[in-house]
Amino acid sequence: MKNEETLDPQDWSEIRQIGHRMIDDMFNHLENLRKQPAWQPIPDEVKNQLQNQPLPSEGQNIEIIYQDFLQNIRPHPRGNIHPRYWGWVEGTGTPFSVLAEMLSAGMNSNANFGEQSSVYIELQVIDWCKEMLGFPKAASGILVSGGSMANLTGLAVARNAKADFDIQEKGLQSVESKMVLYGSSETHNSVQKAIELLGLGNESFRRIPVDENFEINIEELRKAIAKDKADGLKPFCIIGNAGTVNTGATDDLEQLADICKAENLWFHVDGAFGALAYLSENFRPKLKGMECADSLAFDLHKWMYMPYEAGCVLIRDKEKHHRTFSPSGGYLAHLPRGLASGTWLSEYGLQLSRSFKALKIWMSLREHGIEKYCRLIEQNIEQAKYLANLVEKSNNLELLAPVPMNIVCFRLVKKNLNDEQLNELNREILMRVHESGIAVPSYTTIKGKFGLRCAITNHRSRSEDFDLLIEKVLEIGKNLD
């Protein structure tokens, strides 16, 4: 054949040169994050550049493409790598993990099955996660995109394991008694998405009230289970929270585990970020019972500071896990030798196409060691206490919820304003804090009160960053009616 083409460069020296510049530029960017705004609005002309370009019909010079990145893309990120980003619950990444991602992209492995290094590295990472979080070595697990997919995976196994019939073959249309499950009213909305996608329906999820600490009310839970059983329904799962998204509250996981055992229910724990506080001997007692979970969802890209995406789900019963995600297919038959032998990770989750997520986790854990991650998690918890103390010391600020872990919710108050006016005031303060580029807290509404919310999963934050946030909030609030 004539005129055969490739996407490899004709001049490898050119790509090497610009590649070295990219690494230097990115590390300079990371080294100087404190000199940059935590976030900044995107100008209209830049938005136009980002979303209104014509489809390229011919190739462009890579230097021009890179300059476009430097001018229009890198200056306008979400901001979560910045030292004063505490919005939602998001991680920061590390310089070495940037290189790990580059290596992973260079290999471009489909980490789905067979005799390849990416599978063995993921199996090693899963074993490390089991050891970190008190799960038995015989347990199963898989890396996923994040907590939402981890919750979906764990609850899929729970549904199938606790159904009274072969739900994979016959589907929910064959159910005799409606299946119901339980969690606190503070449970993350990814659980609702999972329940809906699994065909259970949102009304099957019993949202149990919480106490003054935003933890599930155990007595109300017991009453709900008893009533559903009396009504001929089939309770099958309890979802415990290890760090709720609003306030960082952790349910009494030990009591929930006991109820599940007594009632023969599946025990799923959503530990999106809070599960990793188990690494701390000081905080581990608060998570007692989590190690009894049948399935545990958590994110390594949050409180382990890994680059996105790096979620994980651990499942105690490997056979039940495998049975849920391993439908047959002749084109996916195992062979005793060759590439198609070995472990098939695609049979433990929804995805057949899977990126090599494990490499950055494997390299990062080896770079820092688990003890350092433990110290950083404890550091973030101490920083939350420090911030809460700053709020409590001010006559113009109030805490909206207890601070049991790493999330601080507060608002500015003025004696002459009612709650509706205070909500409007604090919304304006939040937006101005963002627009100033000083910091990025997020927000929540607790008992009708809108407040600023700092979720501290940032290894770059320092005490003086929280001093600056409070100073800025008070300054903006003073100048607003």
Structure confidence by residue, pLDDT tens digits, 12-48: 999 999 999 999 999 999 999 999 999 999 999 999 9
Residues 244 and 130 in one domain: yes
Decide the pairing of beta strands 397-399 and 179-184.
Answer: unpaired
Assign residue 450 the CATH number of its domain: 3.90.1150.170
Which tokens hold the place of 361?
A: 């986790």
**Cβ proximity of 253 and 240 under 8 Å:** yes
Q: Quick check: 3 pLDDT over 90?
A: no
From CA 252, how far away is CA 334, in angstroms rounded?
A: 43
Residues 354 and 377 in one domain: no
pLDDT band at 451 (very low <50, low <70, confident <90, very high): very high
Residues 171 and 29 in one domain: no
Residues 324 and 438 in one domain: no
What integer pLDDT is reported at residue 94 of this predicted model?
97
Other beta carbons less than 10 A from residue 237's beta carbon: 25
Beta bridge partners of 203: none
Rounded to an integer, the average pLDDT of 183-192 is 97
Full-model pTM: 0.95
Instruction: With respect to residue 244, please indicate whether it lies within any of the assigned structural domains.
Output: yes
Residues 189 and 303 in one domain: yes
Instruction: Work out how many domains the chain is built from and give that number.
Output: 2
Express each pLDDT in 326-363 by its tens digit: 976 667 888 899 988 889 999 999 999 999 999 999 99
The alpha carbon torsion through 136, 140, 144, 147 (nearest 10 deg) reads -50
Residues 398 and 317 in one domain: no
Question: How far out from the chain centre does Cα 413 lie?
Answer: 32
Q: The sheet that has 407-412: what strands, in order across it? A: 85-86, 440-446, 449-455, 407-412, 397-399
What integer pLDDT is reported at residue 174 of this predicted model?
84
What integer pLDDT is reported at residue 328 of this predicted model?
66
Residues 401 and 350 in one domain: no
- Picking from 368, 385, 406, the residue at the C-terminal end of a domain is 368
Instruction: With respect to residue 58, please indicate whether it lies within any of the assigned structural domains.
Output: no
Q: Quick check: 477 pLDDT over 80?
A: yes
For the chain, give the mean pLDDT: 96
Residues 122 and 225 in one domain: yes
Residues 326 and 400 in one domain: no
Structural domain for 425, as ranges: 13-39+77-91+370-481
Instruction: With respect to residue 61, please indicate whether it lies within any of the assigned structural domains.
Output: no
Residues 129 and 271 in one domain: yes
- Picking from 347, 368, 389, the residue at the C-terminal end of a domain is 368
Cα distances (Å, whole numbers) of residue 191 to 202, 213, 345, 352, 412: 10, 21, 23, 23, 32
The 3-state DSSP class for residue 439 equals coil
What sign does the dihedral 205-206-210-216 (CA atoms) show?
Answer: negative
What integer pLDDT is reported at residue 173 of this predicted model?
84
Residues 314 and 420 in one domain: no
Assign residue 345 the CATH number of its domain: 3.40.640.10
Instruction: With respect to residue 445, please indicate whether it lies within any of the assigned structural domains.
Output: yes
Instruction: With respect to residue 71, please indicate whether it lies within any of the assigned structural domains.
Output: no
Give me the phi and psi of 333, to 5 degrees please: -75, 140
From CA 164, how far away is CA 234, in angstroms rounded?
A: 9
- In 3-state terms the chain splits into helix, strand, coil percentages (rounded to 5) of 50, 15, 40
- Location of structure tokens 């113009």: 396
Residues 328 and 221 in one domain: yes
Instruction: With respect to residue 213, please indicate whether it lies within any of the assigned structural domains.
Output: yes
What integer pLDDT is reported at residue 430 of this predicted model?
98
What integer pLDDT is reported at residue 447 of this predicted model?
95
- Picking from 311, 334, 368, the residue at the C-terminal end of a domain is 368
Instruction: With respect to residue 101, please indicate whether it lies within any of the assigned structural domains.
Output: no
What integer pLDDT is reported at residue 5 of this predicted model?
93
Other beta carbons less than 10 A from residue 187's beta carbon: 23
Q: Quick check: 125 pLDDT over 90?
A: yes
Instruction: With respect to residue 54, please indicate whether it lies within any of the assigned structural domains.
Output: no
What sign does the dihedral 469-471-476-481 (CA atoms) show?
Answer: positive
**Cis peptide bond upstream of 309, omega within 30:** yes
Count, residues in the chain: 481
